[in-house]
């Protein structure tokens, strides 16, 4: 059923267009209200904290870009933080994404309000959906319910950053109950935002640092996707690489890089971590880094 005036459609669990994976979960939504179209591509959920670090933001972008370029639809909750960054990274990579919101899908009530523009973009390249009445305002108890839909749509769920009591961990628990794979990105033992993923890894979640590790789990890494073009450097990365090049290929300590670039320690540390994951710099130990030889 389609509401032409409000530009959304509703499908029941008995409708052929209802996502087959979602039907498998305990107590699936009886009705989904949708703006846009649900992609037929394989789906991976990406969730995390609302208060992310520069490292978490870069890791989310790094992994989501790889998933999107491999044809995977990225599913998240459009909340502030990692969810928003995941949707944006998918769109910027020309990929598809689904936002499962904790409110109705009409623009008069969609939550968070700051993401109305993002919702419009998602609608063009995927779907904004909810099981709640299209005009239902956000309620606290809506969010755990929507989390089960994020995991239910997905082959697996990736947790990027999460505090010990983060809602992202609720999504991970639903994933386990629904027999979905759970992936987690490791982080510093000193960061509160890494406690959730680090604990998940200790409990058996798969530790990942690249999209390929997730794609391989589901045999989604086709031969032509084995080599993904390295993304363009960010302005922060350009500054760091310039200083490493000026040193004639010799190693430079991270403290010196912070001083030379006049960047924050968090920005330098997170960018070095991402560039190390992408084989652009090498961690020599003891805080020393060098450009990878080609």
pLDDT of residue 276: 85
- Greatest CA separation found in the chain? 65
Report the pLDDT averaged over residues 119-140.
97
Instruction: Work out the pLDDT band at 2, boundaries 50, 70, 90.
Output: low
227 belongs to a structural domain: no
Q: Are residues 46 and 146 in the same domain?
A: yes
CATH code assigned at 250 = 1.10.10.10
Q: Are residues 151 and 56 in the same domain?
A: yes
What is the extent of the structural domain holding 79?
Answer: 2-222
The Cα–Cα gap between 90 and 163 comes to 24
230 belongs to a structural domain: no
Residues 6+ apart with CB under 8 A from 270: 53, 54, 55, 57, 58
Q: Are residues 119 and 23 in the same domain?
A: yes
94 belongs to a structural domain: yes
* Burial annotation 117-151 (CB, 10 A radius, 16+ → b, else e): ebbebbbebbbbbbbbebebebeeebbebbbbbbb
81 belongs to a structural domain: yes
pLDDT of residue 247: 77
pLDDT of residue 267: 86
Res 253 pLDDT > 80: yes
Instruction: Work out the pLDDT band at 273, boundaries 50, 70, 90.
Output: confident
pLDDT of residue 245: 84
Q: Which helix (H) or strand (E) holds 206?
A: strand 206-207
Q: What are phi and psi of 290, to 5 degrees?
A: -145, 155
Q: Are residues 174 and 255 in the same domain?
A: no
Using CA atoms, how far residue 205 sits from 10, 73, 181, in Å, is 35, 21, 8
Place of tokens 């909340």: 79
Strand partners, 157: 45, 182
Q: Are residues 35 and 100 in the same domain?
A: yes
54 belongs to a structural domain: yes
Q: Are residues 217 and 239 in the same domain?
A: no
* Burial annotation 158-187 (CB, 10 A radius, 16+ → b, else e): bbbbbbeebbbbbbbbbbbebebbbbbbeb
Mean of per-residue pLDDT scores for the chain: 91
Instruction: Work out the pLDDT band at 87, boundaries 50, 70, 90.
Output: very high
Q: Mind giving me the DSSP string for 137-187?
A: PP-TTHHHHHHHHHHHHSSEEEE-S--TT-HHHHHHHHHHHTT-EEEE---
Write out pLDDT tens, residues 196-232: 999 999 999 999 999 999 999 999 975 444 444 445 6
Report the pLDDT averaged over residues 262-291.
87
Tokens of 26: 């305990």
Cβ–Cβ under 8 Å, residues 187 and 202: no
Q: Are residues 136 and 64 in the same domain?
A: yes
The Cα–Cα gap between 152 and 50 comes to 21
pLDDT of residue 224: 47
Domain-terminating residue out of 169, 201, 222: 222
Residues of the chain with pLDDT > 90, as a percent, come to 74
Res 144 pLDDT > 80: yes
167 belongs to a structural domain: yes
In 3-state terms, what secondary structure has residue 200? Answer: helix
Residues of the chain with pLDDT > 70, as a percent, come to 93
Report the pLDDT averaged over residues 19-25.
96
Write out pLDDT tens, residues 156-188: 999 999 999 899 999 999 999 999 999 999 999
Q: How many domains does the chain have?
A: 2
Q: Are residues 142 and 279 in the same domain?
A: no
Instruction: Work out the pLDDT band at 254, boundaries 50, 70, 90.
Output: very high
CATH code assigned at 86 = 3.40.50.450
228 belongs to a structural domain: no
C-beta neighbour count of 39 within 10 angstroms: 20
Q: Are residues 20 and 88 in the same domain?
A: yes
Domain-terminating residue out of 174, 189, 222: 222
Q: Are residues 135 and 175 in the same domain?
A: yes
Q: Are residues 19 and 86 in the same domain?
A: yes
Tokens of 2: 């389609």
Write out pLDDT tens, residues 231-240: 567 788 888 9
Report the pLDDT averaged over residues 74-100.
96
26 belongs to a structural domain: yes
Domain-terminating residue out of 222, 250, 282: 222
pLDDT of residue 5: 53
Q: Are residues 111 and 256 in the same domain?
A: no
């Amino acid at each position: 059923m389609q509401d032409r005036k409000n530009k959304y459609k509703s499908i029941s669990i008995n409708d052929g267009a209802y996502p087959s994976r979602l039907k498998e979960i305990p107590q699936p939504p009886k009705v989904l209200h949708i703006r846009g179209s649900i992609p037929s591509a394989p789906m991976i959920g990406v969730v995390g904290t609302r208060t992310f670090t520069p490292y978490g933001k870069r890791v989310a972008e790094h992994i989501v870009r790889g998933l999107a370029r491999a044809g995977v639809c990225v599913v998240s909750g459009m909340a502030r933080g990692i969810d928003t960054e995941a949707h944006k990274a998918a769109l910027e990579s020309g990929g598809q994404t689904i936002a499962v919101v904790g409110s109705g899908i009409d623009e008069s009530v969609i939550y968070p309000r700051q993401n109305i523009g993002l919702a419009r973009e998602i609608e063009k390249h995927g779907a904004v959906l909810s099981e709640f009445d299209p005009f239902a305002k956000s309620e606290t108890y809506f969010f755990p319910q929507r989390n089960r839909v994020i995991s239910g749509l997905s082959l697996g769920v990736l947790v990027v950053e999460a505090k010990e009591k983060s809602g992202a961990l609720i999504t991970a628990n639903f994933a386990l109950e629904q027999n979905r794979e759970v992936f987690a990105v490791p982080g510093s033992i000193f960061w509160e935002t890494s406690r959730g993923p680090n604990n998940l890894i200790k409990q058996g979640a798969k530790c990942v640092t690249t999209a390929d590790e997730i794609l391989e789990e589901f045999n989604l890494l086709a031969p032509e996707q084995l080599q993904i073009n390295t993304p363009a450097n960010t302005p922060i990365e350009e500054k760091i690489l310039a200083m490493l090049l000026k040193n004639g290929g010799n190693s430079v300590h991270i403290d010196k890089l912070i001083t030379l670039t006049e960047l924050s320690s968090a920005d330098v540390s997170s960018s070095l971590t991402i560039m190390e994951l992408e084989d652009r710099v090498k961690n020599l130990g003891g805080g020393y880094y060098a450009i990878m030889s080609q």
